[in-house]
Amino acid sequence: MSANPVAPPKPDWARLVGDSIKQNGVWHTYGKLVEARRVYPDDLSLRGYVEIVRNVIVREFLAHPRGMQAVPKLTAEFLTNFDRFNLSAQEGYLVSLIDGRLDIQKLMILSPFDPFSTLFILAKLQQERAITVPQ
Amino acid sequence: MTSLAVELLDKLPSAIAVVTDAGRIEYRNSAFAATFGNDANSWLKEAARAVAGESGWLQTFFLDDEEPRTIDVEIEGRVYRIDKLMKAGEGGTAAVALSFDDVTRQREMEQAKSDFTAQIVHDLRGPLSGIQGTLEFVLSQEGTRLDAMYTDLLQEAQRESERMMGLINELLDFSKIQSGNFVVEKETVRVAGLLKRAVRSLQSVAARDEIFLLSAHGRDVPQIIGSVEKLTQAIINLISNSLKFTPKKGLISVGAQIVREGDMPEAIVITVTDTGMGIKAQELQQIFEKYKQSGNKSLRGGGGTGLGLYIVKQIIEAHGGDLSVASLEGVGTSMVLRLPVRKTAA
């Protein structure tokens, strides 16, 4: 007789996510939450915590003094060693638009992705040091 | 049963009876006998038939002995609220103790209150619509040279009248929910377009408050069956709430994800997420209750009825969906709603 898989007890996401952000930062927390979503695919509040962390990441990216007018540039490391960067198709597409002249606002207009996703991908590229957004 | 227990039960004002799962009354207290007389067995059977066929009504009280159950039964022009007090025994020998309260008058009062609220709200909307129309007309006259101060004042009056209309509409929806008249239309809802319009309608408010309000979904969100008007109202309410509690330079995103069963879309999960002040953990469980408001003070001023999230929840549940919340104090809040994708109108 096969037993139905028992869903693991629901963790206290608020406490876990709050502690993780303080101790490990938003990117590490985001990675852990994406893993957790595979274990708890039906947990609506978990999806909410993923979105909160994504929002914090994008807000921090936009906290640049020039905001949407900041101009991202590809890093020297990326240009000389881009094999090291394991880019997704979406990331690769956005990288192809970065020419050192287009600001974030224009990249959002040219991007085929929704505005939030475009900003999130740019933030991820910055986190991975594929791009830099000079002051 | 001891004589003391019988004496105590007989003194209770509520009608109490112990009923077997076969529908036979094993015990009745004085109030029960006074209310239903000697014909109580046939009354009980008639009530059961009226609600759910031969035995369906009675059987619900035997389903789960841990679960409290209440059913309102209308019989011979009176409404009785029947509460399960306890259950004993198993199988063919199970019995439940039930209390019967005549709530006919209470129901009539609730209906009268609901009708009165609906009438008042309806009467308030008329003149307010007139005021809004007048303000809109004056502010749209390009040839009129209004002093900047008067323009500011008129715009302020327009904002406040919109807020008042929102509060009145909330009261009207609440009144409909209370009276059981809250129905959602069954039409095709293009969710991506709906979200886009909701974001666009509040974009100027967000820009005024220096908040980034961003769409976070593609165009490939499936259609659902439901009410465009009610769902738009729910999403606008959630975004408006976020706007109240998000500081300058904050960010609000409105996303949609598709949940698939194999290759087929099964549900849409819509999120409205902000980088606002968040909600205290102890308040999270109650925010969808009526008249409950976050202990946080709105950053944009203006109170509410405390009905907004309650109404949103009713709208989502009327579409067969769920509403949940995630929040971190000082970091942000995300409202997460799940709507089933149905192929045809029910």
B89 or B283: which leads in pLDDT: B283
Q: Which residue of A has its CA nearest to B284?
A: A14
Query: Touching check for A65 and chain B: CB below 8 Å?
Result: no
Q: Inspect the interface and report whether the beta carbons of A52 and B251 lie closer than 8 Å.
A: no
Most confident of A2-11, B126-135, B329-338: B329-338
Query: Which residue numbers of B have CB closer than 8 Å to A's CBs?
Result: 212, 214-218, 249-253, 255, 257, 259, 269, 271, 273-275, 281, 284, 322, 324-329, 331-338
Q: Inspect the interface and report whether the beta carbons of A21 and B328 lie closer than 8 Å.
A: yes
Instruction: With a cut of 90, say whether residue B231 has pLDDT above it.
Output: yes
Q: Which residue of A has its CA nearest to B214?
A: A116
Listed range (A2-11, A43-52, B212-221, B278-287) with the worst mean pLDDT: A2-11
Give pLDDT tens digits for B282-341.
888 888 887 766 666 666 566 666 788 999 999 999 999 999 999 999 999 999 999 999
Q: How far are the Cα atoms of A51, A103, A113, A131 from residue A94, in angstroms, in the given order?
A: 21, 12, 9, 11
Listed range (A7-16, B71-80, B104-113) with the worst mean pLDDT: B71-80
- At residue B228 the predicted structure's pLDDT band, cuts being 50, 70 and 90, is very high
Q: What is the mean pLDDT of chain B?
A: 83
The Cα–Cα gap between B8 and B27 comes to 14
| Residue of A45, A51, A119 with shortest CB distance to B255 | A51
Q: Inspect the interface and report whether the beta carbons of A63 and B271 lie closer than 8 Å.
A: no
Listed range (B44-58, B111-125, B245-259) with the worst mean pLDDT: B44-58
Give pLDDT tens digits for B171-202.
888 887 877 777 788 899 999 999 999 999 89
Average pLDDT over residues B105-114: 84
The Cα–Cα gap between B29 and B15 comes to 6
The Cα–Cα gap between A131 and A133 comes to 7
SS3 B198: helix
Q: Which residue of A has its CA nearest to B321?
A: A44
Q: Is B31 within 8 Å of B11 (Cβ atoms)?
A: no
Minimal Cα–Cα distance from A81 to chain B, Å?
A: 31
Q: Inspect the interface and report whether the beta carbons of B332 and A114 lie closer than 8 Å.
A: no
